[in-house]
Amino acid sequence: MDLNVHMAEQAAIHHGVPQAYVDLTAMLKEVKPDVVHITTPPASHLSLGTLAIEHGAHVYVEKPFAVDAREARELMATAERHGRLVCVGHNMTFDSPFLRLRDAYRRGELGEIVHVEGYMGYNLAGPFGAIFMGDPTNWTHRLPGGFAQNNISHPLSMILEFLDDEAPGVVAVGQRFRKERYGDVRDCVLDEIRATLIGRSATANLVFTSQARPVQLYVQVHGTKRQAICHLDSRTLRYVDGAAMPGPFRRIQWAYEDLKQARREHRRLVRRFLSGKMHFFEGMSELFRQFYDAVAGRAEMPIPMSEAVRVTAVMDEIFKQCEENRPADRDQEAGDLASAIGGGQAR
């Protein structure tokens, strides 16, 4: 189903679906689906999700879940009122390395969490970046957090798995390092975001950058027992346990332990490839499977609906502060960033 007939038809033909629709209500009435996947821009998630729920469907909503927390709460309340389930598309939290990280955390292998680093890079010249940077009317420009809002839910949803707080404290700054040349909304797009989340027992940093290379997405979790580095691009999970040998041998042992971890992950990846398990959207498939199990009453929801609201609320706070801390010029930007994160050189 797509409002544009060409887009609806290409999806139907490409995926071997017999019927394409340009009217959601007509589709809901005719097909009576058990589950509706909403993959439209976020401004339509509340209205489309509500319509689907009112027609008896459970709903899978692509990230970002909603434009803001108010809409997220409203969608959740509608779902609860109708006894339907809503699942947010935080699919990367179901990629294999993150599943392993989650298991290790729950088994207590990391100890208590002290700090989490979440890093996401983005290429503005990439396939999707070129689309919205080439079009000032693109929907991403109408989001409160711009294109960053369409992306940071990935690292944020991972970070928040390790922070218990319902609403951690947030200190955030947004910056723009690109040359101003469009004369329209695209000149306002923030291409760098730094946020610190302060919880009762742990803290986290979020780095979103479109300048740094290589583009990558990872989380580093620092526990009282060991550190884990979960890399979503290389699909690896490595632990840092340090070294116990004395003096210079400690450094050699440390590097050797790193080498062993890398070698183990390399072998694991080769095995996954050869056994046909290395899929681009493996996390999404796993999330769908678990969500459908929940819909069928066979399992708990893979992501509680309240988690979608919590992530959205933290994003709201980040973008609110980015707007408030928007620097007037580059020098000012650097100063603000330094003071906001408590000193140090910004760039």
Partner 1 sequence: MILITGATGFLGRSVLRRLAQQPGETLRCLVRPGSDPDELAALIKDLPSGRAIEFFPASFNNLDALKRAVEDVSIVYHIAASKSGSFAAQTANTVVSTENLLLACKDANLARFVLVGSFAVMGVAGLPKGAVVDESTPLEAHPEWRDPYTYAKLRQERLALDYWRQGVLVVVVRPGVIYGPGEPVLTTRVGVSMFGWFLFLGGANFVPLTYVDNCADAVIAAGVAEDVVGEVLNVCDNDLPTARQIFRLYRRRVGWIRFFPIALPLLKLIARVNVWYSEKSGGNLPIVFSPYQVDTAWKFLRFSNAKATKCLGWQPRVSIKEGLELVLASQPKT
| Contacts with 184 (C-beta within 8 Å, 6 or more apart), sequence order | 136
Taking CB under 8 A as the rule, does residue 107 contact partner 1?
no
Taking CB under 8 A as the rule, does residue 29 contact partner 1?
no
Which one of 19-27, 135-143, 162-170, 208-216 is the stretch in contact with partner 1 (CB under 8 A)? 135-143
Which one of 129-137, 191-199, 231-239, 252-260 is the stretch in contact with partner 1 (CB under 8 A)? 129-137
Q: Which is nearer to partner 1, 125 or 328 (CB)?
A: 125
Q: Which is nearer to partner 1, 48 or 202 (CB)?
A: 48
Contact with partner 1 (CB under 8 A) among 108, 111, 136, 304: 136
Taking CB under 8 A as the rule, does residue 280 contact partner 1?
yes
Taking CB under 8 A as the rule, does residue 6 contact partner 1?
yes
Describe the crossing of helices 69-82 and 305-324 by its angle, rounded to 10 degrees.
170
User: Residue 133 CB, nearest distance to partner 1 (Å)?
Assistant: 7
User: Site size for partner 1, by CB under 8 A?
Assistant: 26
Contact with partner 1 (CB under 8 A) among 106, 107, 125, 137: 137
Residue 207 three-state SS? strand
User: Residue 113 CB, nearest distance to partner 1 (Å)?
Assistant: 34
Taking CB under 8 A as the rule, does residue 134 contact partner 1?
yes
Which pair of structure tokens corresponds to residue 323? 């707007």
| Contacts with 139 (C-beta within 8 Å, 6 or more apart), sequence order | 41, 42, 43, 132
Taking CB under 8 A as the rule, does residue 18 contact partner 1?
no
Taking CB under 8 A as the rule, does residue 310 contact partner 1?
no
Q: Which is nearer to partner 1, 137 or 345 (CB)?
A: 137
Round to whole Å and give the CA distance between 171 and 193: 11
Going by C-alpha positions, the residue among 26, 17, 24, 19 that lies closest to residue 2 is 24
Cα-Cα end-to-end distance for the chain: 46
Taking CB under 8 A as the rule, does residue 213 contact partner 1?
no
Q: Where are the beta strands (DSSP E) in the chain?
A: 35-38, 58-62, 86-89, 113-121, 169-175, 192-198, 203-209, 217-223, 227-231, 236-240
Which pair of structure tokens corresponds to residue 40? 């439209």
Half-sphere exposure of 319 (CA within 13 A, CB side): 25
Count other Cβ atoms within 10 Å, centred on residue 194. 20
Contact with partner 1 (CB under 8 A) among 23, 80, 135, 233: 135
Q: Which is nearer to partner 1, 4 or 224 (CB)?
A: 4
Contact with partner 1 (CB under 8 A) among 77, 131, 259, 262: 131
Round to whole Å and give the CA distance between 10 and 310: 35
User: Residue 59 CB, nearest distance to partner 1 (Å)?
Assistant: 21
Decide: 159 and 207 in contact? Cβ < 8 Å: no
User: Residue 272 CB, nearest distance to partner 1 (Å)?
Assistant: 9
Taking CB under 8 A as the rule, does residue 273 contact partner 1?
yes
Contact with partner 1 (CB under 8 A) among 229, 278, 294, 301: 278
Q: Which is nearer to partner 1, 180 or 300 (CB)?
A: 180
Taking CB under 8 A as the rule, does residue 301 contact partner 1?
no
Taking CB under 8 A as the rule, does residue 287 contact partner 1?
no
Q: Scanning residues 178 to 207, which ones bind partner 1 (CB under 8 A)?
A: 181-184, 186
CA angle, corner 244, sides to 239 and 250, nearest 5? 90
Taking CB under 8 A as the rule, does residue 35 contact partner 1?
no
Rounded to 5 degrees, φ, ψ at 302 are -65, -35
Burial 321-347 (b: 16+ CB within 10 A, else e): bbeebbbeeeeebeebbeebbeeeebe
- Residues near partner 1 (CB under 8 A): 4, 6-7, 10-11, 13-14, 127, 131, 133-137, 181-184, 186, 273, 276-280, 285
